């Protein structure tokens, strides 16, 4: 009997919403309950393309805006065969950022339409669940200073938040908004409930294609 596929679960949100902490906690909780699960993150800075992106984010290099957008997308596409293989093996993937960050961040730059920004990621494996960790700019500010990487300013993050709100209007994607202002444990509980639901559903339906 073919094994049931794993679920593709994505966490999105503006910087400092707690995505990375929550991804780790979710993977650990799933593994502990006997469900195979692995963490992934985008950009994946370990590949050749990922290293170009990383240098750009760290302001060690300059890249033209369209070019870096396409590199972020290529970085997802290069991992697709690995992702599909793992999902087919029954492994649930918990992904820290995906195509939604790609579209939201680039379209927050002047001269970029959301439509253009979504195009290169059309057809990627479609997440079974996308949780948006919602945190107001005021609450985010209480969590301390922004980092030093590119995009880490209040004005830019506000623009990104607005683009995420547009993306969340798309009902072809299973969006769940999570109140990230709650305690780490409470957020973890909310995320776990939604994830278990998605994992159960994914077992019976084929993996979809994003934005098609």
Per CB under 6 A, residues contacting ligand NYM are 15, 42-43, 57, 72, 97, 101-102, 105, 151
DSSP-assigned letter for residue 143: T
CB atoms under 10 Å from CB of 76, counted, come to: 24
Instruction: Report the nearest approach of ligand NYM to the CB of residue 181 (Å).
Output: 20
CA distance 212 to 198: 20
**15 in the Ramachandran plot: left (φ > 0), alpha (ψ -120 to 50) or beta?**
beta
Q: How many C-alpha atoms does 77 have within 13 Å on its Cβ side? A: 12
Identity of the residue, 88 or 152, whose beta carbon is nearer to ligand NYM in the bound complex:
152
Identity of the residue, 18 or 43, whose beta carbon is nearer to ligand NYM in the bound complex:
43
Identity of the residue, 101 or 161, whose beta carbon is nearer to ligand NYM in the bound complex:
101
Identity of the residue, 160 or 199, whose beta carbon is nearer to ligand NYM in the bound complex:
160
Identity of the residue, 10 or 199, whose beta carbon is nearer to ligand NYM in the bound complex:
10
Query: For residue 19, what is the enclosing H or E element?
Result: helix 19-32
Instruction: Report the nearest approach of ligand NYM to the CB of residue 19 (Å).
Output: 7
Instruction: Report the nearest approach of ligand NYM to the CB of residue 67 (Å).
Output: 13
Instruction: Report the nearest approach of ligand NYM to the CB of residue 22 (Å).
Output: 12
Instruction: Report the nearest approach of ligand NYM to the CB of residue 133 (Å).
Output: 12
DSSP-assigned letter for residue 2: P
Going by C-alpha positions, the residue among 131, 103, 114 that lies closest to residue 193 is: 131
């Amino acid at each position: 009997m073919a094994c049931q596929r794993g679920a593709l679960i994505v966490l999105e949100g503006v910087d400092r919403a707690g995505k990375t902490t929550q991804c780790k906690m979710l993977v650990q909780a799933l593994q502990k309950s006997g469900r195979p699960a692995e963490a992934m993150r985008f950009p994946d800075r370990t590949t050749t393309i990922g290293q170009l992106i990383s240098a750009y984010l760290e302001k060690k290099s300059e890249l033209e805006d369209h070019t870096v957008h396409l590199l972020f997308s290529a970085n997802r596409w290069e991992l697709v065969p690995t992702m599909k293989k793992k999902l087919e093996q029954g492994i649930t993937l918990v992904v820290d950022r995906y195509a939604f960050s790609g579209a939201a961040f680039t379209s927050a730059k002047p001269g970029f339409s959301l439509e253009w920004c979504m195009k290169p990621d059309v057809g990627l494996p479609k997440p079974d669940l996308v949780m948006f960790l919602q945190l107001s700019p005021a609450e985010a500010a209480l969590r301390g200073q922004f980092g030093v990487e590119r995009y880490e300013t209040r004005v830019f993050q506000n623009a990104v938040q607005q683009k995420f709100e547009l993306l969340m209007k798309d009902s072809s994607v299973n969006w769940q908004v999570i109140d990230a202002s709650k305690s780490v444990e409470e957020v973890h509980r909310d995320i776990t409930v939604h994830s278990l639901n998605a994992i159960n559903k994914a077992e019976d339906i084929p993996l979809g294609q994003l934005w098609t």
